[in-house]
Structures are given as structure tokens and as C-alpha cells.
Amino acid sequence: MPFDLTREYIDNLKELIDQYDEKTVSNLISPLHPADIAEIFNEITIEEAKFLYMILEGETRADVIIELEEDTRERFLKALSGEEIAKQFIEEMDSDDAADVIGELSEDLQEEILQHIEDTDQAGDIVDLLSYDEDTAGGLMAKELIRVNENWNVLTCLREMRKQAEDVDEVYYVYVVDDDNVLKGILSLKKLLLARRDSKISSIYKSDIISVRTDTHKEDVANIMDKYDLVALPVVDSIDRLLGRITIDDVVDVIREEAEKDYQMISGIAEDVEPSDNVILLTRARLPWLFIGLLGGILAALVLGGYEEELKIYPEMAFFIPLIAAMGGNVGVQSSAIIVQGLASDTLGIESTGRKLFKEVSVALINGVILSSLALVYNLLTLESLALTISVSLALFAVILFASIFGTSIPLLLEKLKIDPALATGPFITTMNDIISLFIYLLIGRMLYGII
């Protein structure tokens, strides 16, 4: 049953910690999942957290540290020595998790921790992983996996697999390599169990395997695993030597992080922030796009100022300014959101930029005709001014068409320039479309009021 953390639970736990009641505290937290215990750590002080972690078993301690939010984990680990971190946590972790945790710490503390890891192979694996960019497959992969040589027979293979399985939590695939550690394929457990004991692995493994290089970007890794429904993905170097594997839990973290980042960009937040961050950081993350919005508002006011005389003579035009601006912003955000989503999930296919624009323009034309026609019918029934009626309908059609083209082309342009296309959504698109929509509306109004 899912654990529900309440204020009452936290207060009771704090009181027991103050009383140094280890037995009762242990009975409270021992049945909990590491993710639930990590949630508790986020609500208590560092000293209280240290009391809890002393009660936990070694493997559970390591799992809790992995589940902690980054800022909480950093504050907690800073209160411990490098030897304590190495002995209590790192030695119980998989290589990828250990590298993630150590990578968040200062270089001096990293060096101290690595020196206190007794298993030199584990320390070497962590050092290797720390050398990769965290946004690449190398930064995501773990060194723990099961590999067998294509020249072994089934009996030798089973014996070696038993040895290697001690260091692997989850066995998703058995990887087959040659004498130079070049990845050749994967081995089916079913075939392994049914094969004769003297059969060569080279005769029963599957050579059709998908892998990625160490420098493959993590978003590409996530897209590959999603496309081919993989639970684990091998990582190789430039000459196809097997280096590690990426598992589905790491990819889920990538997908969540990218979704959060894109959502924040769409919302006009310039940095990756959490609700628990301090006021200064939250302000710094929001201020840049709010400043751009301020400039956009000033530009919109200047546009209105340029048509001040027309608005004095035909003040009824002002009633439809909110409608025109809102429709421009909404259409632009819709178009950009579709394109950004397609770019993020790599589902736009092989269509050219021209075809993508043509498709969005077609949609805009249909929507523009329908909405401007509805506005025309409404205004013919309610307004006396024919010039205003036609101005609103023509402007609405033109604004919808322009906003769709603008909202489609900007993300595609940013993608070509290797800039995150999520920047094109939210405040940027809305502000630009507001300004240009006003200009289009007032320009059409000036022209028609002079004719009709």
C-alpha cells in the first residue's frame, strides 16, 4: 500500500528522534520503501537525518541517498566525511548511481571518497563514468552487466554468468562479445537453457542488436529505447567494444527531467528550479522572461500609439483589441507546442520543413475561415459599422494565418541552430504574436476605414 506522509507522522518521528528512541524509530521506518524514507529526509533537519541513516541497513542507506532530491542529498553528504560516504553509501551502489552522487560533490570530496573505496575495480569504474558528460549515454550507463564470450560453450557460459550475476541487480540481457570485447549480440536465456552443454555460444546468440555510442545524447537514448521498447541498451565505444548498459529506470529519469525542463521553459522560467529553492534563485529564474514580457508590452503600447488618431476617430476598434491579441497568442502557442512536442519525441518523421509549414498553414486556413466567418456573422448582426465588421474578420483571418506560420517556423529554426526549441513557446511566442497581431489589425482597420 502506498505510503502517505503526513505532518502528524513527521512530528511524531521528530519527537522520537529527540528522545533517541532507536527501537521505535526503526520499527516506524524499516517497513518503508527507500523512496518513502527519502521523502521523510526532505522534511527533517540534517542532524535528524543522520540519526535515521545510522539505523538503516547498508543497502537501504544507499537506496535512500539515490532517491533524495539533489539539494537535500548535497546538504546531507556535506555533513559527512569522505570515508563515511564511501563506506556507508558508495560501496553499496551500482556504478552509475555512485558516479551520479559523487559527481554532485566538490572535487576535493570526490577525491577523498574515491581513496576510501576498498574495491579498486569499483573505484575505477566510477572514475571512468565521471569522465563522460552527464547528458550523454556514457554519463547514464552502468558498468554492471553480464557478458559472455562467443567462443565459450554453454557450460562455461553458465559458470561465468553465476559469477558475474553477483554484481548485477537485474539481469535484462546477456551480452555476447569476442576476444577483443567487441559487442556481437545478445544471448537468449531460453536458448541457453535448451542448448547442449557443449554447444558454442557463437551458434546460438542473436546478432541483431541495437546499441549506442558513449557520446549519444541522453534524449536520443530515451527515444531509441522508447521506439524499440527496450528495457536495457548496451553502450559501446567508437570501435564497438562493450562498455556498459543503460536501464529503463535511468531513461525514465531522463524523460521526466526533460519534460520538467520543457514545461518550465514554456512557462517562462529560464533555469531548472524546484519549489523548495530559495527566493533569490526562483526570482532569478523567472525575471528574464518577465522582463521580455515587459518590453513586449511597451512595444505593444507603441504600436497603439502609432494609431492613436485612428482610435480617437474610430474608438469602437478598441473593443476588439483583446480578441485579436488573444487569438494570435493562442494560435501561436498551439502551433509551436505541436512542433516542439514532435521535435522532443522525434515523431515529426522525414517530412521537409516546407511540408511541415504547408500542413500547419492548411490547418490555419481552415481555422481562420471558420473563426473569421463566425466573427463576421456575429458582427453583422450586432454592429452598425460595416468597416469595423470587415476589419475584424479580415484581421482575425490574417492573424491566425501569421501566428500559425510564426509558431511553426521559430521552433524549427531554433532546432536548426541547435537551440532548445522549447524556448519558442510560452512568453516569447505570445508576446511577439500580441505585438504583430495588433499591428495587423490596426493596419487593416486604417485601410478599410478609408475605403468603406
pLDDT at residue 367 in the model:
92
pLDDT digit string (tens) for 34-47?
889 888 888 888 88
The rounded distance, in Å, linking the Cα atoms of 394 and 401 is 11
The string of pLDDT tens digits covering residues 47-86 is: 888 888 888 876 788 888 888 887 778 888 887 788 888 8
Top-ranked range on mean pLDDT: pick from 54-68, 228-242, 316-330, 412-426: 228-242
What is the mean pLDDT of the segment spanning 368-389?
Answer: 90
* Domain 279-451: CATH superfamily, name plus number: SLC41 divalent cation transporters, integral membrane domain (1.10.357.20)
The residue type of 306 is: G
pLDDT in tens, 117-142: 888 888 899 999 999 998 999 999 99
> Looking at residues 435-439, what average pLDDT do you find?
88
pTM, two decimal places = 0.69
What mean pLDDT is reported for the chain? 84
pLDDT band with cut points at 50, 70 and 90 for residue 416: confident
Average pLDDT over every residue of 262-282: 67
The CATH code of the domain at 146-247 is: 3.10.580.10
Residue 353 pLDDT exceeds 70: no
What does the domain layout of the chain look like in residue ranges?
7-133, 146-247, 279-451
3-state secondary structure of 104: coil
Is pLDDT at 254 greater than 90 in this prediction? no
Residues 6+ away with beta carbon under 8 Å from 384: none
**Mean pLDDT of the 327-339 span:** 83
pLDDT band at 350 (very low <50, low <70, confident <90, very high): low
- pLDDT of residue 221 exceeding 90, the answer is yes
Asked if pLDDT for residue 422 goes beyond 70, the answer is no
Q: Is the pLDDT confidence value at 104 over 80?
A: yes
Most confidently modeled of 106-115, 269-278, 306-315? 106-115
The answer on pLDDT for 167 being more than 80 is no
Q: How many CA atoms lie within 13 A of 51 on its CB side?
A: 21
Band of pLDDT at residue 340, cut at 50, 70 and 90: confident
Please, are residues 89 and 101 in contact by the beta-carbon 8 Å criterion?
yes
Cβ atoms of residues 101 and 73 within 8 Å:
yes
SS3 363: helix
Residue 264 has a pLDDT of 67
Q: How far apart are CA 120 and CA 126, in angstroms?
A: 10
pLDDT more than 70, % of the chain: 92
pLDDT grade, residue 374 (50/70/90)? very high
Q: What pLDDT was estimated at residue 434?
A: 85
Q: How far apart are CA 74 and CA 289, in angstroms?
A: 29
Does 229 score more than 70 pLDDT? yes
Could you give the CA distance from residue 414 to residue 50 in angstroms, rounded to a whole number?
A: 47
What integer is the mean pLDDT of 333-346? 76
What CATH number has the domain spanning 7-133?
1.25.60.10
Question: Does the pLDDT value for residue 427 go beyond 60?
Answer: yes
